Amino acid sequence: METQSVIVCRCEEVDLKQLLETAERYSCSSRELKLRSRAGMGYCGGRTCRLLVDSIVQQLTDTQASNEIPLKHQPPVRPVTFQNLGGGLS
């Protein structure tokens, strides 16, 4: 199997090839790469692939990890039921 077919974002089923092609074509920041590919936007909230997506961009752009957490965390940080969203929480 071709290494680039490895899935990076399990929730949204985005593979390494898609990420590399997108990052190269658009000279993406991590955030742009996430928004274009949906990697990190799935059910787990990016807990699995956030660091991987950022690491791909760091390597392509030859930059170091910054002090900010890559790909900003946004609430809700866990999946929420519609019931809770709509009225369970007031």
Partner 1 sequence: MTDVLIVGAGPAGLSAAISCAERGLQVQVIDEFMRPGGRLLGQLYQEPDGSWWNGIEEAAKLQDKAASLGVELQLGISVIDLNHSDDGWMVYTSTGILKAPALLLATGAAETACPIPGWTLPGVMSIGAAQVMTNVHRVRVGMRGVIVGINVLSMAIAQELELAGIRIAAMVLPAKNMINHDAGDPRKVMQSIVRLGHLAPSPLLRLGSGLMRYTPLQSLGLHLYPKGGFKVWGIPVQLRKAAVEIEGIEKVESVRVANLSPDGNIVPGTSRSLPVDFVCMAGGLYPLAELAAVAGCPFRYIPELGGHIPLHNARMQTPLAGLFVAGNITGIESAKIAAAQGTVAGLSIAAFHQVSGTEEDLRESIQNLRITRAKASIQFHPQVAEGRQRLESIYSENFS
By CB under 8 A, residue 87 contacts partner 1: no
Q: Does 75 bind partner 1 (CB under 8 A)?
A: yes
CA 67 to chain centroid: 18
9 with 38: CB under 8 angstroms? yes
Select the residue interacting with partner 1 from 25, 62, 76, 86 (CB under 8 A).
76
Binding letters toward partner 1, positions 18-57, x by CB under 8 A: --x------------------------x-xxx-xx--xx-
What dihedral angle (degrees, nearest 10) is formed by the CA atoms of 53, 58, 61, 62?
A: -160
